[in-house]
């Protein structure tokens, strides 16, 4: 697996990371046991993945425990990112945000125990808290860095203005936001800001919550606990309308003898050398597919073809329900 640096921080990670959230929530019951999920995480490491993403709120702390147990044998050789910023992990995001400095430090102590590490490699603010100045948030993480409990600071789904203000207090290593061929909003302000300030960018949902794999269409049904049932972009009519995005990927994939998912990830990798996507999976075969994307080279001609086709498409449907959307880009 190729390596990449997240901005100018010196933090080196695998070109493709691993988003662990789906092992504990959001996409319906895992297809296997906890032990089988540990096997997938360890297999990811064995195949060259060194960057793993979790959060306090995923599965009310259970996801951190899972990642901590799975990666304990390799903890000196991996980078584990986790997140703070919500009031109560047991209550989920609906309980609201809380980034008071005392809460940040409380979350850090709990995450250290669950992850079985002496220091958190990358500590993101999960969502911006409008009640707490970002300077106070950055200051609290700076204190944790000085205490040796955190190594790097990041923000998730923050605005360019907030990124600048936070970075002035404690330099940011990474910004994490959704980014893919069907959500390109970060190209307007976030990516230019990251480039200017030397901050790495970590796209989550790089496969459009599964849609860009080409395995979902308007007839697909999701488990009752799958959060895609609540997302406007995933209504049957919008899935049908958005199929043209997948058609672009399929066309390139056939030519490259690859899959649609691999082309979607390769497209992200081709955008900037400091972009590191974190696709998630719960299956070994999907893990192999995702990792394979790192070896696919899209030529300038390929990229132009994708760009020309994508420019004619308007993706239908909001990416989140309204209540969740209000927590973004603050």
pLDDT greater than 80 at residue 328: no
pLDDT greater than 80 at residue 327: no
pLDDT in tens, 21-51: 999 988 888 878 999 999 999 999 999 999 9
pLDDT in tens, 158-209: 999 999 999 999 999 999 999 999 999 999 999 999 999 999 999 999 999 9
CA distance 83 to 329: 17
Domain-embedded: residue 227: no
Domain-embedded: residue 107: yes
Domain-embedded: residue 53: yes
Domain-embedded: residue 126: yes
Domain that includes residue 91, residue range: 3-209+271-296
pLDDT greater than 90 at residue 313: no
How confident is the model over 151-163, as a mean pLDDT? Answer: 97
Q: Give the pair of three-digit tokens for residue 243.
A: 């199929």
- CATH code, domain with 191: 3.20.20.100
Domain-embedded: residue 121: yes
- Catalytic residue numbers, as ranges: 58
- Total count of domains within the chain: 1
Q: What values do phi and psi take at 194, rounded to 5? A: -60, -45
Domain-embedded: residue 315: no
pLDDT greater than 90 at residue 325: no
pTM equals 0.95
Taken as a whole, the chain contains a residue count of 330
CA distance 81 to 153: 10
Domain-embedded: residue 310: no
- Cβ-contact 289, 261 below 8 angstroms: yes
CA distance 149 to 160: 27
More confident residue, 92 or 245: 245
Domain-embedded: residue 159: yes
Which pLDDT score is estimated for 329?
A: 67
pLDDT greater than 90 at residue 297: yes
CA distance 65 to 279: 20
């Amino acid at each position: 697996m190729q390596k990449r640096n997240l901005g100018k921080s010196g933090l080196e990670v695998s070109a493709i990371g691993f988003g662990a959230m789906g092992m504990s929530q959001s996409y319906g019951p895992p297809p296997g046991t906890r032990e089988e999920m540990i096997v997938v995480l360890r297999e990811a490491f064995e195949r060259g993945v060194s960057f793993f993403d979790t959060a306090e709120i995923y599965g009310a702390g259970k996801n951190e425990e899972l990642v901590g147990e799975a990666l304990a044998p390799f903890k000196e050789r991996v980078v584990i990112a986790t997140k703070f910023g919500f009031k109560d992990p047991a209550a989920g995001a609906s309980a609201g945000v809380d980034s008071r400095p005392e809460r940040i430090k409380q979350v850090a102590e709990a995450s250290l125990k669950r992850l079985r590490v002496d220091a958190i490699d990358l500590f993101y603010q999960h969502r911006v808290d409008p009640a707490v100045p970002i300077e106070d948030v950055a200051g609290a993480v700076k204190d944790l860095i000085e205490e040796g409990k955190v190594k790097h600071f990041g923000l998730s789904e923050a605005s360019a203005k907030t990124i600048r203000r936070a970075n002035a207090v404690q330099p940011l290593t990474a910004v994490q936001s959704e980014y893919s061929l069907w959500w390109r909003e970060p190209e307007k302000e976030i990516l230019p800001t990251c480039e200017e300030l030397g901050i790495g960018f970590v796209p989550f949902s790089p496969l459009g919550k599964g849609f860009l794999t080409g395995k979902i269409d308007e007839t697909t049904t999701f488990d009752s606990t799958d959060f895609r049932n609540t997302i406007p972009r995933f209504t049957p009519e919008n899935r049908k309308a958005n199929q043209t995005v997948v058609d672009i990927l399929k066309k390139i994939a056939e030519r490259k003898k690859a899959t649609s998912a691999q082309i979607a990830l390769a497209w992200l990798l081709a955008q900037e050398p400091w972009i590191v996507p974190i696709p998630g999976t719960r299956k070994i075969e999907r893990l192999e597919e995702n990792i394979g994307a790192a070896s696919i080279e899209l030529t300038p001609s390929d990229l132009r073809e994708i760009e020309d086709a994508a420019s004619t498409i308007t993706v239908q449907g909001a990416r989140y329900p309204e209540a969740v959307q209000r927590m973004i880009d603050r």
